[in-house]
Amino acid sequence: MPGSPVGEGSKAHKPKRRNRDTKSRTADVLVDVLVETGVEVVFGVPGGAIAPLYDALIDRPEIQVVITRHEGHAVFAAAGYAQTTGKLGVVLVTSGPGVLNTFNGLGSAYVDGLPVLLLAGEAARAGFGRGAIQEGSVYAVNIVGMASHVTKLAFEIPEANAASAMLRRAMSVATSGKRGPVLVSLPLNVLGTPIVRPTVGLEVPETCGIPQGLDHVVKALQSSDTKTIFVGSGVRWGKGPQLLRQIAERLQCPVMTTPKAKGVFPESHPLSLGVFGMGGHDSARKHLAAGVDVLLVVGTSLNEVATDGWSEHLAARRSFVHVDIDATRIGRVYPTDIGVPAPAALVFGELLKHLPQAPVRKSGGITFDRNASAIHEGAPISAPRALWELQQVLPHDTIYTGDSGINLFFATHYLTIDHPDAFVCMLGLGSMGTSIGLAVGAQIGHPQRTVVSICGDGGFHMAAAELSTAAKSGLPIIVVVLNNGALGMVQLGNGAVYGRTPDYSTAPLCVGGLARASGADSLTIEHPGDILTGVAAHRASKGVNKPLVLDVRFDPAVRIPTNRRFETIETHVSGKMVNPISINQTQTRNLN
């Protein structure tokens, strides 16, 4: 059963529960807050400084506890849970190295705008400045100070009576406005202090009013013959995807997404142009190259990945309109004619009140890289063919999590995603080794759906320990390892830019052996048809209560749809990169 804390062959450990009528500690009160605010699962790695919270969780079976093998992957799991459910991802780790191990995940969640709450243990305050074990105070490594650079908010709870209100505030900050991670440092003495349970309710964030200047957006859209909508992952939240589809169909306007927003608009929809950006589709690139009158950009920072290296094709003849919840992003990268700092769903909802129905027409349709014929060619199996077979044998609503590297370019380009929560990746920092943790969190959030992690052999090396997390928790994730025996993206990049490359091979690596040692099943995939027959047979014969790893030994000769990635690297290296717009000279008419 998904979520079971007992692994195959292990003996259940059932700790005694405390009588809740006894006097409460701060730790008990904090767990009460988590329960009252709807938290259903926490991820983490225990340790002495955070032990009171884990102890308090024994008395609250409403919250599932998932122990990962590394603190960083606990954050990735929480991020996968948050992205696919829209809920807050919660992580519990101990002090010192436990917190420091989360910083890659925190930074990724910060750049990607994901609501993650990190409850971090800390040494008792009496030991501050005296070299306490794993101390992270301002007198030591200053955990809160460092975390302030990779979170929306980072603070320490200094005394017990403030704990409940401060935790509620942290949860509000993480989930309101532009979402992001929050770190709360919890000294051991504070967690253990007996206190009276408070009765304060949940802090409700202020609602956002109707943004001004939407009449300019309506006028621009109505007066143009050719208009295109370009959306980022900021559209994913709430009713954003549903309203986006209504807007596109109302305007009969083609839609393209950033790589991270893949699936926010159904890719099989006749108005879909697919993905623009790194790993994106020819249909989106050629459409922009032909020119558009109005480009409505919503919910994206327009970073290098989203814009295919800040492509000059991302432009409009008349009006470049940028809608984003973060006002500092508007006009920062491209000259902007109309800027609206507001949530995507709010803007879409208001626009629908004013835009008439346009005549039905087909203006989309995804076209793939010229090498798409590789999907149907012979042995050895190609990565496109492997992904195609995967989608033939798995349910339509399968959730796919991507890693960083060649595998992500293939997944972005060749998977067809029609559900807004069905493609999950963390592209802000581009960290390797994220996809298995993301899959663990997504499967916890959606126990009835199939979840697939797609990674390369390099990323698999970094995260394979989390297979045992999935196995122990009874999570039937499928891990697809696109295995070319090397850190392929780096190797190809060095070859393209410098004309040579060091040895970046990952051998020796027995993917199947490592999988089986971690409690997972494994299949070796070498020929077309192996996935179609192997995965179907495995699911039919063994059920779906443990992970399955596919070692896909794909043909490295198949061209990778990197688009302009290597070209932009070479431009960076040569010093030829020119910023097309100065931050101090933004051409934005901000209308709110």
Residue 299 CB burial class (10 angstroms; 0-12, 13-18, ≥19): buried
Greatest Cα-to-Cα distance within the chain, rounded to the nearest angstrom: 73
Q: Which is it for the CA torsion 119, 120, 121, 122, positive or negative?
A: negative
CA distance 585 to 116: 34
577 residue type, one letter = M
> In angstroms, what CA-CA distances link 197 with 7, 55, 120, 188?
35, 17, 21, 19
Which residues of the chain carry a pLDDT beneath 50?
1-11, 200-207, 370, 373, 581-592
CATH architecture of residue range(s) 24-195 = 3-Layer(aba) Sandwich (3.40)
Place of tokens 């688009």: 563
What residues have CB less than 8 Å from 103, skipping those under 6 apart? 72, 146, 147, 150
CA distance 243 to 176: 20
Summarize pLDDT for 486-542 with one digit per residue, the tens: 776 777 777 777 788 888 877 778 999 999 999 999 999 999 999 999 998 888 876
pLDDT of residue 4: 40
pLDDT of residue 591: 40
* Topology annotation, domain 214-367+580-585: Rossmann fold (3.40.50)
Residue 552 CB burial class (10 angstroms; 0-12, 13-18, ≥19): buried
CATH number belonging to domain 371-560: 3.40.50.970
Asked if the bond preceding 187 is cis, omega within 30° of 0, the reply is: no
pLDDT of residue 585: 41
Give me the residues paired with residue 473 across strands. none
pLDDT of residue 425: 96
The per-residue DSSP string of 355-410 comes to: PPPPPP---------GGGGGGG--SSPPHHHHHHHHHHHS-TT-EEEE-SSHHHHH
Question: How many H-runs (helices) and E-runs (strands) does the chain carry?
Answer: 21, 20
pLDDT of residue 211: 72
116 φ/ψ angles, rounded to the nearest 5 degrees: -130, 130
Summarize pLDDT for 38-61 with one digit per residue, the tens: 999 999 999 999 999 999 999 999
Q: Are 483 and 552 in contact (CB under 8 A)?
A: yes
Task: Return the exposure string of 43-71: e unless at least 16 CB atoms fall within 10 Å of the residue's CB, then b.
Answer: bbbbbebbbbbbbbbebbeeebbbbbbbb
Residue 309 in tokens: 């290296």
pLDDT of residue 1: 37
Q: What is the DSSP letter of 453?
A: E
Please state the length of the chain. 592
Q: Say if 24-195 and 371-560 have the same CATH topology.
A: yes
- CA angle in degrees (0–180, nearest 5) for 560-564-567: 110
pTM exceeds cut of 0.85: yes
Q: Where are the chain's structural domains?
A: 24-195, 214-367+580-585, 371-560
- For 200, the 3-state DSSP assignment is coil
Q: Are 441 and 82 in contact (CB under 8 A)?
A: yes
pLDDT of residue 10: 42
First to last CA, the chain: 50
